[in-house]
A and B are shown apart, each in its own frame.
Chain A
Amino acid sequence: TQLLEQSPQFLSIQEGENLTVYCNSSSVFSSLQWYRQEPGEGPVLLVTVVTGGEVKKLKRLTFQFGDARKDSSLHITAAQPGDTGLYLCAGARRNSGYALNFGKGTSLLVTP
């Protein structure tokens, strides 16, 4: 069962463009994490959002957690080739021992 719907699954843009990745669910999560993964490596945590309506910024990345804690978005401003990678959202639910449910991922390619 895919609890988290992530879109788009693939995105190819040119350097300097902006983009937004969405992560939606019908379930409420105690927290939601965003990860970035390079091929052949484990996911690296970018941010954890906990409070409904929370907005966090990490340089050119802006993360938002929905008011109802069911959805989240990742916005990248002025994308660079170094942003290329697989972006994963994952929701943690307290009643499942904080196991993470991952979205399908967004494969981002930023070309010079």
Chain B
Amino acid sequence: GAVVSQHPSRVICKSGTSVKIECRSLDFQATTMFWYRQFPKKSLMLMATSNEGSKATYEQGVEKDKFLINHASLTLSTLTVTSAHPEDSSFYICSATGPLSTDTQYFGPGTRLTVL
């Protein structure tokens, strides 16, 4: 149980375009989803916390207009990187918590974004 999927696993886009990444909880309802960013050989940095039906809470230094997060249902959250630039290239990982285990996060497999 507690499987989280991400789509796509890899995406290459041109500078200036927008890219949407989906995060789905497959076998549980995720009350909260989190989005992280990870640079090569570095740890995960929290970008934002999203609760179903409400606006996401962004960490300091993360541009909310650039990284649009939508959590429209209890099983789906999306991250849209708008007007992508090469410096946005990174590994983006989502995680989800269920209603019964708020301390445990289940991570998706990640999405490798490359902006040319």
Contact = CB atoms under 8 A, between A and B. Distances in A.
Given A30-B103, A41-B110, A44-B107, A100 B93 contact: no
A99 B34 contact: yes
Contact of B44 (A41, A44, A102, A107): A102
Contacts, number: 65
Contacts of B97: 98
A103 B103 contact: no
B112 A98 contact: no
A74 interface: no
A98 B102 contact: yes
Interface in A15-65: 30-31, 33, 35, 40-45, 48, 50
Contact of B49 (A33, A88, A97, A101): A97
A98 B93 CA distance: 17
A48 B108 CA distance: 18
B107 A99 contact: no
Interface residues of A, number: 26
Interface in B53-99: 57, 91, 93, 95, 97
Interface string B1-18: 000101000000000000
A48 B110 contact: no
Contacts of A42: 4, 6, 93, 95, 107-110
5 contacts: A31-B104, A40-B91, A43-B107, A45-B107, A98-B32
Interface of A: 30-31, 33, 35, 40-45, 48, 50, 86, 88, 90, 92, 97-105, 107
